[in-house]
Amino acid sequence: MSDLAHVVGSTDQPLITMTIGACFDQVCDSHPDTLALISCQQGRRLTYAQLRTRVDALACGFRRLGLVKGDRVGIWAPNCEEWVLTQYATAKLGLILVNVNPAYRTSEVEYALNLVGCRAIVLAPMFKTSNYVEMVQDLMPERLPDLEFVIQIGTEAAPGFIAFEDLITSPKTGELNELQRISAELSPDDPINIQFTSGTTGAPKGATLTHLNILNNGYFVCEAIELKAGEALCIPIPLYHCFGMVMGVLGCLTHQATVVLPSDAFEPGAVLKALDDEACVGVYSVPTMFIAMLDHDRLASANLSALRTGIMAGSPCPTEVMKRVINDLGCKGVTIAYGMTETSPVSLQSALDDPIEKRVSTVGRIQPHVEVKLIDDKGQIVPRGETGEICTRGYLVMQGYWSDEARTSEAIDAEGFMHTGDLGVMDKAGYVAITGRSKDMVIRGGENISPREVEEFLYRHPGIRDVQVVGVPDPKFGEELCACVIAKSDTLGEDDVRDFCKGEIAHYKVPRYVAFFDEFPLTVTGKVQKFILRDQVRKMFDLD
């Protein structure tokens, strides 16, 4: 075994060398009566045969509009049946699906659609406080010059738009034959999906992914959780993100399993109901979502006897949360996954039988057909046990950022390694622990402090439900720590938090500031937006 932080995954299982459409047809032929999709909120249940009928009809509808291989088609909607239909229909035609964040507002959707030149967009009428129809109407046509077709989910559409259901008319035999011909000419290396990622700085970039990228990543992720044909997997995270559409939808496809969408957006009661009603064997969530499920009133009455596995990703898992997921949810085989949009996304994942300490202190070990190394600031591989930047190479690395060769070459080096910007440590057994991003490190009076370390300690406090630690400006030390706390009751005070730390952790790690919140600002995928927390705390304590 090498003493260097460099590992290469197993190649015992071959890569899937077919397109998403070819894989979809193969599964629909071999498992026609298996449930493929359950959309609980919509009350819809589709077998693989029924799903194929709807997908093929939609693909033919797209073709009638004149959309051809390589055209970009946006999808701007919460989780629903139509999202999955659009994902598969575009793949069968070689159209590039462009995932638009449901939380985007007018200027953001304008930027995203123009960046990649979308010819068409499928959108929900509205979601939460966002009226998608009005926003697109305000932008068309002057500010969205490439956009020709707006397809509104439902049976009706605004003037000038197309109703989604009008596209799903029974195709003629000739249309189906043409669809089959087009699908057969596609290559697994064709770009098929664009996802926007901000990375560390700058405007969102369009990470461009291929059939080979995302079909295989979904497959190997679900191999790790040992998903079986016919089993149901609950997916409450957004489909617009890799976690939902790749690890979830495509993972289920490659394992002939059932996608369960509990609601259009995360709601803990709906997730628990779906887990019970559909006897789901697994669930995907981020730590904040698991916490919400564990604290929900429905937990006590839900029958979760089928639940055995799943994935927790998106942010580090506190030890106490993992213990509760295993003991209170009964999800003993929950695994941890690490990756980024640019790597399709997962490169490291824990195993079902890894001990709890490995699942909370590391993100597991290398995935098949993947290579990972940790390097120093000179580009040299660091020894195991030392901190380095995580770099990933293999089938999973994106083609690049759409129309942005400069930023692509900054992210992917000449040897094909994706530089993640994440810092980690690899142990002798190959487990990788994430120590943060260099920008997340708080430097107080010359002392480097990992916010994750302080958060892990504070999670032990019986009165703390959730906590995030951020660095804030200080004229004397440069930076000080602030503990942002969601308390279990109103009785917890600032001094209680600080007193809990004193004498237990180094004095410079004791938060000078303690701020209480009812909830944290989250992305649609449930990640805590620490940059917003930092700004809120700075204003709260007048630290500008």
CATH assignment of the domain containing 508: 3.30.300.30
Residue 233's nearest CA partner among 56, 34, 52, 78 is 34
Whether residue 222 contacts residue 229, with contact meaning beta carbons closer than 8 Å, is answered with no
Within-domain flag for 158: yes
Confidence of residue 199 (pLDDT cuts 50, 70, 90): very low
Integer distance in angstroms from the first to the last C-alpha of the chain? Answer: 50
Query: 521 is written with which tokens?
Result: 């600002």
Domain extent at residue 50: 20-407+419-423
435 part of a folded domain: no
DSSP for 248-306 reads IIIHHHHTT-EEEE--SS--HHHHHHHHHHTT-SEEEE-HHHHHHHHTSGGGGT---TT
**Pair of tokens at residue 518:** 């009812």
358 plus 500 within the same structural domain: no
Asked whether 492 and 517 are in contact (CB, 8 A), the reply is no
Identity at 111, one-letter amino acid code? Y
| 337-350 per-position pLDDT tens digit | 999 999 999 999 99
Residues 483 and 344 in one domain: no
CA-closest candidate to residue 22, choices 185, 171, 173: 185
Instruction: Evaluate whether 82 touches 109 at the Cβ level (below 8 Å).
Output: no
Say what the pLDDT of residue 1 is.
Answer: 59
Question: Each residue of 283-307: pLDDT tens digit?
Answer: 999 888 999 999 999 999 999 999 9
504 and 384 co-located in one domain: no
3-state SS track over 317-349? CCHHHHHHHHHCCCCCEEEEEEECHHHCCEEEE
53 and 170: one domain?
yes
Residues facing 6 on adjacent strands: 373
Question: What CATH number corresponds to the domain at position 323?
Answer: 3.40.50.12780
Domain contains 299: yes
CA distance 268 to 117: 37
In a domain, 372, yes or no: yes
Q: Which amino acid is at 186?
A: L
What tokens were used for 484? Answer: 């942002």
- In this structure, how many other beta carbons lie within 10 angstroms of the beta carbon of residue 443? 12
pLDDT at 198: 63
DSSP H/E element including 242: helix 242-244
For 124, the 3-state DSSP assignment is coil
On whether residue 212 sits in a domain, the answer given is: yes
Q: Which of 363, 392, 423 is the last residue of a domain?
A: 423
Q: Are residues 143 and 270 in the same domain?
A: yes
* Helix H or strand E encompassing 81: helix 81-93
543 bridge partner residues: none
- Rounded distance, CA 73 to CA 90, Å? 8
244 and 390 part of one domain: yes
485 in the same domain as 369? no
Residues 94 and 210 placed together within one structural domain of the fold: yes
pLDDT tens, 432-488? Answer: 999 877 667 788 876 778 888 899 899 999 999 999 999 999 888 889 999 999 999
* Contact present, 115 and 402 (Cβ < 8 Å): yes
Residue 430 lies in a domain: no
Give residue 531's identity as a one-letter amino acid code: F
pLDDT-derived band at 318 (thresholds 50, 70, 90) equals confident
The answer on 370 and 486 residing in a single domain is no
Tens of pLDDT, residues 400-435: 999 999 999 999 999 999 999 889 999 999 999 998
In a domain, residue 413? The reply is: no
Tokens 């290579």 belong to residue: 371
158 vs 440, residue with greater confidence: 158
Cβ neighbours of residue 380 closer than 8 Å, sequence gap 6 or more: none
Domain closes at, from 359, 391, 423: 423
Q: Residue 375 in 3-state DSSP? A: strand
Same domain, 349 and 268: yes
Whole-number Å distance between alpha carbons of 51 and 157: 23
Domain termination residue (choose one: 362, 388, 423): 423
Q: What is the DSSP letter of 510?
A: S
- The pLDDT of residue 200 is 37
Spatial strand order of the sheet with 513-516 comes to 464-474, 478-487, 513-516
Give me 61's structure tokens: 């509808």
- pLDDT value, residue 316: 75
Of 485, 501, 482, residue with least CA distance to 543: 482
Specify if 11 maps to a domain: no
Domain check: are 393 and 483 in the same one?
Answer: no
Residues 234 and 191 in one domain: yes
User: What tens digit of pLDDT does each residue of 200-231 get?
Assistant: 345 689 999 999 999 999 999 999 999 999 99
Helix H or strand E segment including 359: helix 356-361
Strand partners, 274: none
Q: What is the mean pLDDT of residues 277-281?
A: 98
Give the count of domains, the chain. 2
